[in-house]
């Protein structure tokens, strides 16, 4: 079957710069960006509204809580709505970040996310980012990128993004949190055999974006 739209899949571990890079690549190419992690986060936020105690969560309860989540297209990206409202701030909060990997282990939740992402990609050219976009969701993507970076560097980027003053201790703590999330997500965070692996440790975001845009032009030209 010939797919009518183009897909660029960008995968990698937590805080590897996937989403911001994917967004900029999408803008440069006139594609739409889909952040698959935002759907795992939206399902987690919906579940947290229903039940704060994560030890009581079941797959059926998460799927039920996530029913009012939809993926809406804006000018340059898709974003999740819950009960028709944008939930960007809520899904980036510490409660969601702490619990999202648990939700992402649930096989039917993974199917729910994958269906929504594939649906969105049916009508537009997209840059999708996540963990398993190039392996499971779009095994025939036009271009697959896997971003890696040293975990301390990723922690430093996360703290810089927050824009608040930081200490060595905060950097140590954030590095531990990122290493823990890497361990929880390890099973689904594997590069596709045909992915281009880019180590972004010493790269600026502009370098990463240019490399990916130029790879995509080489592939399509």
144 binds ligand C5P (CB under 6 A): no
**Residues of this chain, 27-86, that bind ligand C5P according to CB under 6 A:** 36-37, 40-41
Segment lying near ligand C5P (by CB under 6 A), choices 2-10, 57-65, 127-135, 211-219: 127-135
In this complex, which beta carbon is closest to ligand C5P, that of residue 29 or of residue 45? 45
In this complex, which beta carbon is closest to ligand C5P, that of residue 104 or of residue 145? 104
Residue 73 — φ and ψ, nearest 5°?
-85, 130
Q: How many CB atoms lie within 10 A of CB 167?
A: 9
Task: For residue 132, give the nearest of 36, 202, 39, 65 by alpha carbon.
Answer: 36
Figure out which of the listed residues 101, 151, 200, 208 binds ligand C5P, where binding follows CB under 6 A: 101
Report in angstroms how near the CB of residue 119 gets to ligand C5P at its nearest: 15
CA–CA separation, 129 and 54 (whole Å) = 26
Report in angstroms how near the CB of residue 148 gets to ligand C5P at its nearest: 14
Enumerate helices (H) and strands (E) in the chain, giving the number of each.
Answer: 9, 8
Q: How many CB atoms lie within 10 A of CB 194?
A: 12
DSSP per position, 126-168: EEEEESSIIIII-TT-SEEEEEE--HHHHHHHHHHHHTS---H
In this complex, which beta carbon is closest to ligand C5P, that of residue 153 or of residue 185? 185
In this complex, which beta carbon is closest to ligand C5P, that of residue 186 or of residue 217? 186
200 binds ligand C5P (CB under 6 A): no
CA–CA separation, 214 and 173 (whole Å) = 36
Count of residues interacting with ligand C5P (CB under 6 A):
14
In this complex, which beta carbon is closest to ligand C5P, that of residue 165 or of residue 194? 194
């Amino acid at each position: 079957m010939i797919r009518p739209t183009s897909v660029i899949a960008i995968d990698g571990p937590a805080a590897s710069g996937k989403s911001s890079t994917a967004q900029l690549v999408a803008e440069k190419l006139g594609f739409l960006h889909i952040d698959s992690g935002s759907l795992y986060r939206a399902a987690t936020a919906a579940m947290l509204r229903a039940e704060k105690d994560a030890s009581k969560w079941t797959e059926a309860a998460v799927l039920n809580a996530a029913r009012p989540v939809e993926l809406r297209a804006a000018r340059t990206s898709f974003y999740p709505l819950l009960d028709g409202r944008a939930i960007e701030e809520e899904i980036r909060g510490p409660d969601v970040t702490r619990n999202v990997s648990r939700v992402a282990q649930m096989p039917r939740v993974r199917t729910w996310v994958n269906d929504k992402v594939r649906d969105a990609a049916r009508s537009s050219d997209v840059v999708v980012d996540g963990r398993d976009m190039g392996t499971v969701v779009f095994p025939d993507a036009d271009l697959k990128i896997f971003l890696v970076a040293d975990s301390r560097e990723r922690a430093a980027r996360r703290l810089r993004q927050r824009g608040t003053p930081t200490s060595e201790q905060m950097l140590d703590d954030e590095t531990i949190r990122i290493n823990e999330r890497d361990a929880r997500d390890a099973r689904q965070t594997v590069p596709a055999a045909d992915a281009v692996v880019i180590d972004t440790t010493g790269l600026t975001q502009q370098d990463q974006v240019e490399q990916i845009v130029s790879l995509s032009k080489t592939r399509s030209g």
